[in-house]
């Protein structure tokens, strides 16, 4: 295992340590051209935590993560259960469609979504207008208000995330020993009771794990938000933590503050997922 461990430490460990050190330094454009960074201690963290805009972005990111991750998990688990009940031929088509959606490059799918929500020729506005909602004629979802922007962004992220959740949970469901289900059926358990009392509890570690990963992904979401920002024209109102770090570091050249922001996101992620990870480790010990 030594080669793999060394590769992980080099590829992930070194950048993390470098980022940690930069968060305590003043690292800007001068440092990129060879100037020695100045050690500023916790000044970068103080600057971030005393900035009201950071707390606005922080709250929006947290609510956005909870919203998207929760809906993704509910729909993903529900679709996995549905795959158990449908005809095998339909299941094959359904599974293939999910894999295609999941494998689709983010930029390619975002291009299609931008066509759908185009203010003048988009299908969404045409559909709403045809139903009598005339206020949606030439309505710009990405530039009108940050709530409509987040609504479209969450729809895109949920759409792209559901396939992995569905496929993973379905793979776990089909591994439930059939003799347990047969014994419960003999004892009079209905399909609903088998699902909620036997199958879902048995695969709870898998659901917890994919839930942890979904929270991490949605908390650090960047590509979808950044591309939609470029299309919509509003950035300050629609920033989440991922795009905020990018703008602070890449756009403004303040890598010290951006590194401190990244460390705060890491701490937040560990805090949100700590209980789930503890649950997984505890169940692993029991097993």
The DSSP-derived string for 7-42 is: HHIIIIIHHHHHHHHHTTEE-SHHHHTTPPPEE-TT
Q: What pLDDT is stored for residue 10 in this prediction?
A: 82
Q: What pLDDT is stored for residue 287 in this prediction?
A: 45
Q: What pLDDT is stored for residue 244 in this prediction?
A: 93
pTM for the complete prediction? 0.85
Q: What pLDDT is stored for residue 55 in this prediction?
A: 94
Q: Residue 52: left if φ>0, alpha if ψ -120 to 50, beta else—which one?
A: alpha
Gap between the Cα atoms of 2 and 136, Å rounded:
59
Residue 252 is given by DSSP the state: T
How many whole angstroms from its chain centre is CA 54? 20
Gap between the Cα atoms of 90 and 260, Å rounded:
49
* Tokens 């203010």, located at residue: 119
Structure tokens at 135: 């206020």
Bridge partners of 38, per DSSP, are: 26
Q: What pLDDT is stored for residue 286 in this prediction?
A: 42
Gap between the Cα atoms of 221 and 75, Å rounded:
19
Gap between the Cα atoms of 45 and 261, Å rounded:
8
The CB density around residue 285, as the number of other CB atoms within 10 Å, is: 7
Q: What pLDDT is stored for residue 7 in this prediction?
A: 86
Closest by Cα among 217, 185, 212, 213 to 199: 185
Q: Which residues of the chain, if any, have pLDDT below 50?
A: 286-287
C-alpha distance from residue 194 to each of 74, 79, 91, 231 (Å): 18, 17, 21, 47
Structure tokens at 161: 């995330």
Domains, the chain, with CATH or none:
58-286 (1.10.3720.10)
In this structure, the strands spanning 38-39 and 25-26 are: antiparallel
CB neighbour list of residue 239: distance below 8 Å, 6 or more residues apart: 57, 60, 225, 229, 247
Q: What pLDDT is stored for residue 51 in this prediction?
A: 92
pLDDT tens per residue across span 238-279: 999 999 999 998 888 889 999 999 999 888 888 877 766 676
Closest by Cα among 62, 65, 75 to 159: 75
């Amino acid at each position: 295992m030594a080669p793999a461990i060394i590769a992980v430490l080099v590829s992930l460990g070194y950048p993390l340590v470098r980022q940690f050190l930069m968060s305590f330094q003043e690292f800007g454009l001068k440092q990129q051209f060879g100037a020695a960074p100045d050690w500023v201690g916790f000044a970068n963290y103080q600057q971030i935590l005393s900035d009201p805009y950071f707390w606005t972005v922080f709250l929006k990111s947290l609510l956005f993560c909870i919203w998207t991750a929760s809906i993704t998990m509910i729909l993903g688990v529900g679709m996995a259960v549905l795959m158990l009940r449908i005809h095998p031929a339909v299941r094959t088509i359904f599974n293939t469609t999910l894999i295609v959606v999941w494998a689709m490059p983010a930029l390619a799918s975002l291009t299609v979504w931008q066509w759908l929500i185009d203010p003048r020729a988009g299908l969404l506005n045409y559909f709403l207008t045809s139903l009598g909602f005339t206020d949606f004629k030439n309505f710009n979802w990405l530039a009108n208000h940050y709530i409509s922007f987040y609504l479209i962004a969450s729809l895109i992220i949920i759409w792209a995330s559901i396939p992995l959740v569905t496929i993973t949970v379905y793979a776990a469901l089909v591994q439930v020993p059939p003799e347990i289900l047969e014994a419960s059926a003999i004892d009079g358990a209905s399909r609903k009771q088998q699902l909620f009392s036997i199958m879902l509890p048995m695969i709870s570690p898998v659901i917890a794990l994919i839930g942890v990963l979904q929270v991490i992904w949605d908390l650090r979401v960047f590509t979808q938000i950044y591309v939609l920002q470029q299309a919509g024209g509003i950035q300050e109102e629609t920033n989440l933590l991922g795009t905020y770090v990018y703008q602070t570091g890449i756009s403004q050249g303040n890598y010290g503050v951006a590194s401190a922001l990244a460390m705060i996101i890491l701490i937040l992620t560990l805090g949100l997922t700590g209980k789930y990870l503890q649950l997984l480790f505890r169940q692993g010990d029991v097993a």
